[in-house]
Amino acid sequence: MPFHLHKKRNRQDLWRDRQLAWRPIAYLCIEPKDSTMLNQTHYKLAEGVEIPSVGFGTYLIGNDEVADAVYTAIKAGYRHIDTAEAYRNEEGVGLG
């Protein structure tokens, strides 16, 4: 099990994680095998950040399965991972 899952989380850690969570960090991960997913429409958000129009949804994927699903989606070329606190799978999404 990764180290960060063993340590107790404090309020400052949770605040930092929330500050980072809204950013499309998947852009920093893995290059897709082809450029199909790169040649798509993007929407410009406030502060100039762009987000792809097509995203990988994580609703109804259990926390124990979502890490593999997100990893596979990023490997396939997705750069927009749609998640929400209400899905209750954020930990697994972050590990993917």
| Residue linked to tokens 């100039």 | 48
Distance CA 35, CA 43 (A): 18
Catalytic-labelled residue, pool 59, 71, 78, 87:
87
DSSP state letter for 29? S
Annotated catalytic residue 71: no
Smallest Cα–Cα separation from 83: which of 49, 52, 60?
Answer: 60
Across the chain, the runs of DSSP E, i.e. the strands, are 42-44, 50-52, 56-57, 81-82
Residue positions annotated with a catalytic role: 87
